[in-house]
Structure 1
Amino acid sequence: MLTFTGSTGGDAGNVLLLHAFPVSADMWEHQLAPLAESGYRVIAPYVYGFDTSPSRPGWSMDDYAHDLARLIRALGWSSATVVGLSMGGYQAMAFYRLYPELTDSLVFCDTRANADAPEALAARQEFRTVVMEKGAEEAAARMVPNFFAPETYESNEPLVEKTRQGIIRQTPEAISEAMRAIAEREDSTELLNEITCPTLIVCGMDDKVTPPETAAEMHALIPGSKLELIPDAGHLSNLEQPAMFNGILLEHLRSL
């Protein structure tokens, strides 16, 4: 069973928070308490091999979606709003494709629907190889410079360093397996047209990994979706601008 952090009390609704790569569910620390205090049952599971979750070599996004469904059923939830950021967005798409009946609404944050082009696949394989050779520090060195808005690296050095530490404590094997699962994910572009539940798309205006243009393309394909751009935020928009992110998320949840 996947391990998770969060609160299972409250009766306003259920929220599942799916984390980015290669950080862990701890990235949701600024969302857990505000959601719980607003009456929501909220959990943030750890991907296989990250922090306290057991490893699972060869896992796929579908495998993770199946385990998420087992997890929320074990908690006695009938359904949930699924919030996914970056890699978590890929998992949210897989979850909706497999379990639309368990999905109250979707929140796609700083993510994309399309599969990787050949050059991106090659880059991911090279990343895996180097991380296995040099360790998690290599993953941090490559990823952290792309995570935040330019001014954050000077104005919020503690956040940058905490994020780096959250990466380097992961094992190279867990990071490599997660990268492989990302590379092998299904293209979800056609799925977007089939989404019928309320859907919110959130993106940092300074996101260099999945830029606002990508978010706008998703918004155009999902019927009735809403797009929110967060200023002074990059790829990990929930960490850079937690108050604004939480306000947007809570507004969405209360509209259901």
Structure 2
Amino acid sequence: MERKTTTVEGKVISYITAGDGKAVVLLHGFGVDSTAWSEQIEYLKDHYFIIAPDLPGIGVSELTNDVSMEGVANLIKEIIENEEVEQAAVIGHSMGGYATLAFAEKYPELLTGIGLFHSTAGADNDEKKSTRKKGIEFTQKHGANAFLETTAPKMFAETTKKENETLYNRFMGNLPEMSKEAVIDYYEAMMARTDRTDVLKNAKVPVLFIYGEQDEIIPLDKTIEQASFPSISTIHILKNSGHLGMIEEPAEANKAIEDFLSDI
């Protein structure tokens, strides 16, 4: 496992690479960084070449001027070109899934597969936008750390909080570095993103959907219909996970990803 950097807009972007074989890009979501994928990187590296970036302004990557989903897609394209990767499967968690779909829309020729991990192709509805606006106001008043400490518990299933208190406390004690500006920029970017259900409907590559049965952020019952949109899709439901299945049920998540990758 190696941590590398590239420069975008004069800002340093950090990413992890590991293993050898067909390329797989793992994009983390909001409120976590590339280390959220630690279990998956360790598991998959024996058979695949893994790229896991810290998105701009998160973890040890510096904040760029463009953190729109299209901007993140361009960043991913630059990273895989730096690594001389011709095609890759791109799997995105939550916000990383939004960026994955933007990448699929802009650069379909670079894809071997798409993975949406606790994510959705739909745009924010009015209720979600209202919630994000309140989050921005809270961050402006109290700062990024206070905001992350308030929102992070909502990403876990109640099962995890009760039965794996050590895991939960360890996560809460190691929240990623984010500035007030980064939190606000990403929330505004997520509010502004377009509906990309047509990307799923027109996908020429297999699509993986991983859901958390106890996910309150991307509820299973409101998003599972999207799994019927692609011509080739695989669905896996993590029964004891909320919004962080890669951490809450790593063995099950690893197997779901491995099975998908081996099929493509």
Alignment TM class, shorter chain as reference: over 0.9
Match of 1:32 among 19, 29, 41: 41
C-alpha distance after superposition, 1:189-248 (max 9, x if no partner): 222211110111011111111122234211111222111111111111111000010011
Written as runs of structure 1 = structure 2, the 5 A alignment for 1:13-52 is 13-37=22-46, 39-52=47-60
Q: Judging changes above 3 Å, is the alpha-carbon distance between structure 1 residues 168 and 139 closer, same or farther for their aligned structure 2 residues? A: farther
C-alpha distance after superposition, 1:81-136 (max 9, x if no partner): 10001001101000000000001101111111111122321221221121122122
Residues 139 and 167, structure 1, Cα contact 8 Å, conserved in 2: no
Match of 2:97 among 89, 92, 113: 89
The residue that corresponds to 1:141 in the other structure is 149
Q: Judging changes above 3 Å, is the alpha-carbon distance between structure 1 residues 168 and 238 closer, same or farther for their aligned structure 2 residues? A: closer
Q: Which aligned runs of 4 or more in structure 1 are off by greater than 4 angstroms?
A: none
Secondary structure class of the residue paired with 1:186? coil
More off after superposition, 207-216 vs 232-241: 207-216
More off after superposition, 59-68 vs 149-158: 149-158
Task: Write the distance in 2 (CA, Å) between the matches of 1:213 and 1:21.
Answer: 22
Secondary structure class of the residue paired with 1:151? helix
Task: Write the distance in 1 (CA, Å) between the matches of 2:102 and 2:134.
Answer: 25
Aligned residues: 253
Amino acid at match of 1:118: D
Secondary structure class of the residue paired with 2:30? coil
Amino acid at match of 1:62: E
Displacement after TM superposition at 1:175 (Å): 1.7
Q: Judging changes above 3 Å, is the alpha-carbon distance between structure 1 residues 136 and 156 closer, same or farther for their aligned structure 2 residues? A: farther
Task: Write the distance in 1 (CA, Å) between the matches of 2:65 and 2:169.
Answer: 29
More off after superposition, 162-171 vs 53-62: 162-171
Q: Which has the higher strand share?
A: 2
Q: Judging changes above 3 Å, is the alpha-carbon distance between structure 1 residues 207 and 146 closer, same or farther for their aligned structure 2 residues? A: same
Secondary structure class of the residue paired with 2:158? coil
Amino acid at match of 1:122: S
More off after superposition, 44-53 vs 240-249: 44-53
C-alpha distance after superposition, 1:137-195 (max 9, x if no partner): 33223322321111211222232223323436322222221111111111112222111
Counterpart check, 1:156 vs 2:167: no
Residues 159 and 241, structure 2, Cα contact 8 Å, conserved in 1: no
| Structure 2 residues without counterparts, runs of 5 or longer | 1-6, 8-12
Amino acid at match of 1:6: T
Task: Write the distance in 2 (CA, Å) between the matches of 1:102 and 1:166.
Answer: 34
| Structure 1 residues without counterparts, runs of 5 or longer | none
Amino acid at match of 1:3: S
Match of 1:5 among 16, 34, 40: 16
More off after superposition, 162-171 vs 114-123: 162-171
More off after superposition, 53-62 vs 135-144: 135-144
Residues 60 and 177, structure 2, Cα contact 8 Å, conserved in 1: no
